[in-house]
């Protein structure tokens, strides 16, 4: 007995020296403990999710196998360790097979310490022993009201790798009756009472598996050393930020300053990787880690605003004192603000006018022609429906007329009437108000002696009565003819 106790103590001390506290925890009140074993997955290991939709996920870590054990007083000379084996992703049948294999290893090495041998087998050989390969299939069943799960055909197949299985009530009842009648586990049984499935059969296992994988990846990242691509300093991963899309790494000090500048400038859509031509964006959780609460609140608000701006069915209340985002029903031009109850046209932002055409201001009418002429046939048809075909045609005609008048006419300095100069000297007479004016400088001329403007040496138009005019020596002009 003393030799067994000494062997037990030596084995437990050896395990404590080999594995850290997160892997091995020794029991305080008995000769035993708990060992958590993360399996070594091959590269590019995938989870294949089947259900309403099929999807694949790359994982580097799966939740550990948990081996709980207690050493009897006559271990290792006579009795094996008393143990249970549990998992969050293996099936009852898979865990039962592993329990049987541990029994076989004890039978082959009875009289010797086997805990380290068990650990090495579970950690290194479990995948091959159970023929688990990538992709590992995960069947997701829909959860109905009352906690009843809908059965899927793949779950009914025997021997299929399935991390989430449901059993019929009759089968569960039969298993309970069998366990009550058979107090000891036999190798021919389908399930081992020492095999414990930790996953709730009514819950979706995928989020838990992905969360564990993410946490373990972060833990591995935190322990590595990286060179920041901005300040070129070597820092531990715990002091760095890794962009998930591209895996580029920068220190948190540099990225904090970068994020602060962009958020203050309102460029919340530009929190991307600083690597040239890289488009990977920082996640909101990463931004929240690096900036204070006030800046993150601004980032969150502007990000929501920019996201709403990109949504075709979202407009904003046109009232300056409101500006609330409003969801618009398809195929309608009416928006009703949920905050101030203002009903408005989503096209012209004025009060809702039903089937009547949108009203357009004089300033907007000037730019309507260019927009109409550059639009596609579909766009032109939409504008005609929105403003009315007659309004659009009028805008086009008036715009062309305005361009022609601008190029060929000048305005009377007195009444503003457009005057076209066809021929003759630079002394003009307005056809509307009969005002004399100079075509060159548009200055008003004296009605008594309008030509003095061109004869006065101090006038800006001195001797320029016929400037720019082809003069025929045989032709003469008088005040009456002009």
Active site residues: 425
| Contact criterion met (CB below 8 Å) for 414 and 430 | yes
Helix pair 362-374, 389-408: axis angle to 10 deg? 100
- Distance (Å, whole) CA 39 – CA 64: 7
Helix pair 389-408, 377-387: axis angle to 10 deg? 100
| Contact criterion met (CB below 8 Å) for 394 and 383 | no
202 is written with which tokens? 């009514």
Q: What are the two backbone dihedrals, phi and then psi, of residue 49, each rounded to the nearest 5 degrees?
A: -95, 125
358 is written with which tokens? 């949108």
Residue 55: beta bridge partners? Answer: 49
Residue 83: beta bridge partners? Answer: 69
Q: What are the two backbone dihedrals, phi and then psi, of residue 127, each rounded to the nearest 5 degrees?
A: -60, -45
């Amino acid at each position: 007995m003393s030799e067994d106790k000494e062997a037990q103590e030596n084995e437990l001390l050896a395990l404590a020296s080999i594995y850290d506290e997160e892997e091995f925890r020794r029991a305080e009140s008995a000769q035993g403990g708990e060992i958590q074993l993360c399996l070594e997955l091959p590269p590019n290991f995938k989870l294949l999710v089947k259900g309403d939709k099929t999807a694949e996920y790359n994982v580097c870590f799966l939740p550990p196998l948990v081996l709980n054990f207690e050493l009897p007083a006559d271990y290792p000379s006579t009795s094996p360790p008393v143990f249970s084996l549990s998992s969050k992703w293996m099936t009852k049948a898979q865990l039962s097979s592993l329990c049987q294999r541990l029994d076989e290893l004890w039978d082959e090495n009875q009289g010797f310490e086997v805990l380290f041998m068990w650990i090495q087998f579970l950690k290194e050989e479990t995948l091959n022993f159970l023929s688990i390969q990538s992709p590992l299939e995960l069947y997701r069943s829909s959860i109905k009201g009352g906690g009843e799960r809908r059965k899927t055909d793949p779950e009914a197949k025997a021997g299929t790798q399935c991390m989430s299985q449901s059993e019929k009530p009759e089968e569960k009842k039969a298993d309970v009756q069998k366990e009550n009648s058979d107090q000891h586990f036999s190798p021919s049984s389908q399930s081992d009472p020492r095999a414990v499935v930790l996953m709730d059969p009514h819950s979706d296992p995928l989020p838990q598996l992905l969360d564990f994988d993410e946490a373990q990846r972060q833990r591995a990242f935190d322990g590595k050393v990286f060179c920041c691509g901005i300040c070129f300093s070597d820092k531990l991963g715990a002091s760095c930020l890794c962009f998930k899309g591209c895996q580029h790494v920068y220190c948190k000090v540099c990225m904090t300053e970068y994020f602060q500048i962009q958020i203050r400038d309102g460029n919340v859509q530009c929190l991307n990787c600083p690597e040239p031509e890289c488009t990977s964006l920082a996640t909101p959780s990463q931004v929240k880690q690096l900036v204070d609460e006030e800046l993150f609140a601004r980032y969150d608000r502007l990000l929501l605003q920019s996201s709403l701006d990109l949504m075709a069915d979202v407009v904003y209340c046109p009232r300056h004192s409101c500006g609330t985002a409003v969801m618009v029903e398809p195929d309608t031009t009416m928006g009703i603000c949920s905050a101030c109850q203002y009903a408005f046209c989503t096209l012209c932002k004025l009060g809702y006018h039903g089937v009547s055409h949108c009203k357009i201001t004089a300033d907007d009418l000037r730019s309507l022609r260019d927009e109409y002429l550059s639009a596609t046939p579909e766009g032109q048809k939409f504008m005609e429906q929105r403003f009315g075909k007659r309004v659009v045609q009028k805008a086009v005609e008036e715009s062309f007329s305005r361009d022609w008048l601008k190029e060929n006419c000048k305005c009377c300095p007195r009444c503003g009437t457009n005057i076209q100069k066809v021929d003759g000297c630079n002394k003009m007479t307005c056809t509307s108000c009969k005002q004399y004016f100079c075509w060159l400088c548009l200055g008003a001329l004296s009605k008594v002696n309008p030509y003095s403007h061109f004869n006065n040496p101090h006038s800006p138009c001195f001797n320029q009565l016929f400037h720019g005019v082809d003069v025929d020596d045989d032709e003469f002009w008088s005040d009456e003819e002009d």
